[in-house]
């Protein structure tokens, strides 16, 4: 269903609650806000298949804009507030956006933009921009006459180059309540329904938080929106609001598990029934610790913004196939060799391809689109993995992150998954750096839980810890310390930025 249906049947039910403040927007208020937004878009001449862009921090008013764009048949581009001015201008130009809304708290970044499209600020003033609250208040709260379902057009976070826009076909149906595969999956596989109280701890400009929380609205549940993730605050929100569903990334689990045991014990998380996680494979010890703590409520999936396929694993699946990201529930998984065509035997690693009817393209990038396909029409997200005899998928790493040292292929993920379990490590990234003899060497960049531990003695300790579980070729030849890794709030690491630092030094 569409949230407008819930606005009619349950107008006072909370659609969004801000975790930190308790600020609440009801379904009736959400419907009014989205109608006013749709009217505003039409007043600027935006029509079906046009593009509007939002660069906003987490706010409950985000949804009035996205649902307004959805019911106006627009493509809505949600831009990360962490991108550079050049990357943001690129996205605005590449997407063809005709309107931009930016949080006033991001004024310094907004004023550097070169774009001159229609510009609005939200939550305060930006010099020379129009405040969107005033513009929306002047709009009628009635539905526009030509409603049509729109979709998001989200861009990659630029971890391996220029951000890429994922463009999917607009629904052919003219109704705003067009069929949505994620709604069906959320209901059937993940147990999401009108009784769900869903904690959303990540930035809404990322695909999963945006799409899943909007799916909650389609199903009539309540979204508890965190302005910013904090491990203890997340536990407090689960207890206070009795959240029974949420979506996390492995970094969130690591940070919660790093809390002192006495702090974790203060919070009642027994209400959680569906602790969904994705974005990256979860280190086996971390996931085991979460299941031991929360019970068998962890539900994992592997998919991308492209929507070309999905795998799914319950806690029971994972306990029987530790390390898996699940079996396919959307599309068919194929593991292929170097030619991107020939399937490899069960248990062998290769590129992960999905065979499905869902189509996508990288906007204005036919070369990138073509490189994601093979002659059979299967598509890949660029990951490497393997299937077991029962059809469960295991991811090795992204192909672009592979390190080739002395002719040996090394995937950083395995090294990272081990080092992050060290009690004095808060975060870790492993990259390949230049080496005259070996071509590349394995470099571990460590974020200590306490920077006072950034010593030569700790380097030696980490080297010994690595050798406990890793073969010699995978043990980092160099260990550097960093106060904070360049990690996206969604948990995604800007690994390209780290790697480039080492190769630029060589140049």
Q: Are 409 and 388 found together in one domain?
A: no
**Residue 357 neighbours by CB under 8 Å, 6+ apart:** none
For residues 175 and 181, give the distance between their C-alpha atoms in angstroms, rounded to a whole number: 16
Q: Domain check: are 79 and 144 in the same one?
A: yes
- Answer whether residue 299 is part of any domain: no
Task: Report pTM.
Answer: 0.83
The pLDDT tens digits for 42-59 are 999 999 999 999 999 999
454 and 344 housed in the same domain = no
Let me know whether 118 and 34 are in one domain: yes
DSSP 108-143: HHHTT----SEEEEESS--TTSEEHHHHHHTS-SSP
Does residue 277 form part of some domain? no
Last residue of a domain, one of 121, 147, 168: 168
Phi, psi of 339 (to 5 degrees): -80, 0
Q: What is the dihedral of CA 111, 112, 113, 116, to 10 degrees?
A: 50
pLDDT tens-digit series, residues 172-206: 877 898 778 889 889 988 999 999 999 999 999 98
- 395 and 425 share a domain? no
Is it the case that residue 158 has pLDDT exceeding 60? no
pLDDT at 502: 86
Of the residues 366, 399, 432, the one at which a domain ends: 399
Full residue range of the structural domain in which residue 343 is found? 324-399
In the chain, the number of structural domains is 3
**Average pLDDT score over the chain:** 92
Residue 28 has pLDDT above 80, yes or no: yes
- Worst-scoring range by mean pLDDT, 90-99, 258-267, 483-492? 483-492
Looking at the fold, whether 496 and 376 belong to one and the same domain comes out as: no
Q: Is residue 262 part of a domain?
A: no
CATH number at residue 440: 3.30.300.30
Whether residue 435 sits in one domain with residue 355: no
Sign, CA dihedral 246-249-252-256, equals positive
Q: Which runs of consecutive H residues, i.e. helices, occur in 25-167? A: 27-43, 62-71, 85-95, 107-110, 132-137
DSSP one-letter code for 327: E
User: How many degrees, rounded to 5, is the angle at CA 505 between CA 503 and CA 507?
Assistant: 75
Q: How confident is the model at residue 507 (pLDDT cuts 50, 70, 90)?
A: low
Q: Is residue 100 part of a domain?
A: yes
CB 167 within 8 A of CB 67: no
pLDDT at residue number 490: 63
- In this structure, what token pair is assigned to residue 501? 């630092």
> How far apart, in Å, are the Cα atoms of 446 and each of 279, 296, 441?
21, 31, 16
Q: Which of 116-125, 241-250, 469-478 has the lowest mean pLDDT?
A: 469-478
Residue 364 in contact with residue 165, Cβ under 8 Å? Answer: yes
485 and 374 in a common domain: no
pLDDT higher than threshold 50 for residue 159: no
Asked if residues 258 and 426 have their Cβ atoms less than 8 Å apart, the reply is yes
113 & 39 share domain: yes
184 occurs within a structural domain: no
Residues 12-41: what's their mean pLDDT? Answer: 98
Same domain for 418 and 483, yes or no, is yes
**Are residues 371 and 479 located together in one domain of the fold?**
no
> Is the model's pLDDT at 160 over the cut of 70?
no
pLDDT single digits (tens) 375-386: 999 999 888 899
> Which of the four pLDDT bands, split at 50, 70 and 90, describes residue 306?
confident
Question: What CATH number does residue 353 fall under?
Answer: 2.30.38.10
Residue 491 banded pLDDT, cuts 50, 70, 90: low
Q: What is the pLDDT of residues 263-294, one digit of tens each?
A: 999 999 999 999 999 877 788 999 999 999 99
Higher-scoring residue by pLDDT: 80, 210: 210
Answer whether residue 61 is part of any domain: yes
Quote the distance between the C-alpha of residue 47 and its chain's center. Answer: 28
Q: Which of 23-32, 77-86, 124-133, 152-161 has the lowest mean pLDDT?
A: 152-161
- Per the domain annotation, does 300 fall within a domain? no
Is 296 a member of any domain?
no
CATH code of the domain in which 142 resides: 3.40.50.980
How high is the pLDDT of residue 161?
Answer: 59
Q: What are the helix (H) ranges across 437-485?
A: 456-469
User: Do 454 and 502 share a domain, yes or no?
Assistant: yes
Q: Which of 117, 135, 168 marks a domain boundary? A: 168
pLDDT of residue 489: 66
Higher pLDDT, 246 or 399: 246
For the stretch 93-125, pLDDT in tens is 999 999 999 999 999 999 999 999 999 999 999
């Amino acid at each position: 269903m569409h949230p407008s249906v819930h606005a009619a049947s349950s107008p006072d039910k909370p659609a969004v609650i801000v975790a930190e403040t308790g600020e609440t927007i009801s379904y009736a208020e959400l419907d009014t806000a989205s109608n006013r937004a749709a009217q505003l878009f039409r007043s600027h001449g935006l029509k079906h298949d046009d593009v509007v862009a939002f660069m906003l921090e987490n706010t409950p008013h985000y949804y009035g804009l996205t649902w307004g764009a959805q019911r106006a048949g627009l493509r809505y581009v949600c831009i990360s507030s962490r991108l550079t001015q050049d990357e943001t201008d690129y996205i605005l130009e590449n997407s063809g956006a005709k309107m931009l809304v930016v949080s006033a708290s991001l004024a310094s970044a907004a004023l550097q933009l070169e774009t001159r499209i229609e510009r609005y600020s939200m939550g305060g003033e930006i010099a020379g921009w129009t405040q969107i609250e005033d513009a929306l208040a002047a709009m009628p709260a009635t539905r526009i006459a030509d409603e049509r379902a729109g979709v998001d057009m989200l861009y990659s976070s630029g971890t391996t180059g220029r951000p890429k826009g994922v463009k999917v076909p607009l629904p052919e149906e003219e109704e705003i309540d067009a069929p949505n595969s994620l709604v069906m999956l959320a209901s059937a596989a993940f147990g999401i329904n009108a009784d769900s109280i869903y904690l959303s701890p990540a930035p809404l400009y990322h695909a999963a938080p945006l799409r899943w929380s909007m799916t909650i609205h389609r199903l009539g549940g309540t979204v508890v929106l965190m302005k910013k993730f904090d491990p203890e605050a997340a536990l407090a929100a689960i207890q206070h609001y009795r959240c029974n569903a949420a979506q996390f990334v492995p970094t969130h689990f690591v940070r919660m598990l790093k809390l002192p045991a006495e702090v974790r014990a203060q919070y009642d998380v027994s209400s959680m029934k569906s602790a969904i996680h994705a974005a990256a494979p979860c280190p086996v010890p971390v996931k085991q610790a979460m299941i031991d703590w929360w019970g068998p409520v962890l539900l994992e999936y592997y998919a991308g913004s492209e929507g070309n396929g999905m795998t799914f694993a319950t806690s029971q699946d994972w306990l029987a196939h530790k390390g898996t990201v699940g079996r396919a529930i959307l599309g068919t998984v194929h593991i292929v060799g170097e030619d991107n065509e020939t399937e490899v035997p069960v248990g062998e690693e290769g590129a992960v391809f999905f065979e499905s009817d869902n189509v996508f393209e990288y906007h204005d990038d036919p070369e990138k689109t073509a490189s994601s396909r093979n002659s059979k029409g299967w598509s890949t997200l660029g990951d490497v993995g393997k299937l077991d005899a029962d059809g469960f998928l295991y991811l090795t790493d992204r192909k672009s992150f592979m390190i080739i040292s002395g002719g040996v292929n090394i995937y950083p993920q395995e090294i990272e998954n081990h080092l992050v379990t060290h009690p004095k490590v808060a975060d870790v990234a492993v990259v390949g750096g230049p080496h005259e003899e070996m071509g590349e060497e394995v470099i571990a960049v460590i974020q200590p839980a306490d920077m006072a531990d950034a010593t030569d003695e700790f380097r030696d300790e980490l080297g010994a810890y690595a050798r406990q579980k890793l073969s010699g070729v995978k043990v980092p030849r160099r260990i550097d310390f960093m106060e904070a890794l360049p990690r996206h709030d969604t948990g995604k690491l800007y690994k390209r930025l780290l790697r480039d630092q080492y190769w630029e030094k060589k140049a």
